[in-house]
Amino acid sequence: MTTDAKSRIEDTVKANDVVLYMKGTKEMPQCGFSSRVAGVLNYMGVDFVDVNVLADPDIRQGIKDYSDWPTIPQLYVKGEFVGGCDIITEMTLSGELDTLFDTSGVAYSKDAADKIRAANA
């Protein structure tokens, strides 16, 4: 990973409460997994920064090295790596994501989170 990519990633995850490294953007995801995680965050009303890894090969590889996680999307909350699509899906359905947002002071719609769980029960 280039030093530049690493410092840009660090700056982004430290400067923003919630960051999603994804393929595409939150308005136009370019893969199903990115779409699912962005969809959950959008539906829950979470204010998050999206970083399109397809627009920058250094960041696309750099984020995998940074987190030591092989896949994209990757969700960061308060500078900490949370997980990819499967982990975020599980955390949403179990209520762990609500707890993480609550303890991190991240605003979200509890009602929307409950609706996601009800729809997947």
- Chain segment 12-31, per-residue pLDDT in tens: 999 999 999 999 999 999 99
Domain that holds residue 75: 3-119
Q: Which residues contact 61 (CB under 8 A, 6 or more apart)?
A: 1, 5
CA distance 22 to 118: 26
Total-model pTM: 0.96
Q: Is 116's pLDDT higher than 70?
A: yes
pLDDT for position 121? 85
- The predicted-structure confidence for 65-112, as pLDDT tens digits, reads as follows 999 999 999 999 999 999 999 999 999 999 999 999 999 999 999 999
Q: Is the confidence at residue 1, as pLDDT, over 80?
A: no
Known binding positions for [2Fe-2S] cluster: 31
Tell me how many domains the chain contains.
1
Look up residue 100 and give its two tokens. Answer: 């993480």
CATH number at residue 61: 3.40.30.10
Residues annotated in the binding site, as ranges?
31
